[in-house]
Amino acid sequence: MAVADRPAGADALLTVECLLEAGDWPDPEALVACAEAAVRAAAAAEGAPAGEVTVVFADDAAVRALNARWRGKDRPTNVLSFPAAAPALPGGAAPPLGDIVLAAGTVAAEAAAQDRPLAHHVAHLVVHGFLHLLGHDHETPAEADAMEQRETRILAGLAIPDPYA
């Protein structure tokens, strides 16, 4: 079920679509607002190109299946990102940037274990996933440090405390 498909404004350069697919996610409207704010903050901070981002709220089973298929890791994870190839679209329409998929059980358990509000953890993971869509990674210590700094700066703009502190 699509829960949001709202452009950024009258001359939308970024479209954020949120899909509530599965899982025990609380308050869908607040969840969508949180995800949209996180994507828009990250896009603004990073000078992201125009495009469409889909945020999928799934359950652990769905994320486990995706993780096994695409990463060879047969376990759920908190967030997966799937960058889209950016083809030229007719009429100057903005191309898809990609999909961000979150796992309800894993995300909720992590937020509880870290004693963080669920909305803060969701925002952090959406920002993290969006940075992956833009090509950022954390495979080396230097990349991880740079990505964490980006995430912390973006989250601060949303009045969310440093998740790494």
Q: What is the pLDDT of residues 48-92, one digit of tens each?
A: 888 889 999 999 999 999 989 989 899 889 999 999 876 666 666
Rounded to whole angstroms, the Cα distance separating 95 from 51 reads 5
Residue 163: inside a domain: no
- Domain tally for the chain? 1
Residue 165: inside a domain: no
Residue 120: inside a domain: yes
Residue 124: inside a domain: yes
- The CATH number assigned to the domain holding 21 equals 3.40.390.30
Residue 10: inside a domain: yes
Q: Per-residue confidence at 112, pLDDT binned at 50, 70, 90?
A: very high
Q: Where in the sequence is the domain holding 55, given as residue range(s)?
A: 2-157
Rounded to whole angstroms, the Cα distance separating 61 from 59 reads 6
Instruction: Indicate the Cα dihedral angle 159, 17, 40, 153, nearest 10°.
Output: 50
pTM (whole model) above 0.85: yes
Query: What DSSP string runs through 25-69?
Result: -S-HHHHHHHHHHHHHHHHHHHTPPSEEEEEEEE-HHHHHHHHHH
Residue 13: inside a domain: yes
Indicate the helix (H) or strand (E) that contains 71. Answer: helix 60-71
Q: Per-residue confidence at 93, pLDDT binned at 50, 70, 90?
A: low
Residue 164: inside a domain: no
Mean pLDDT of 32-40: 94
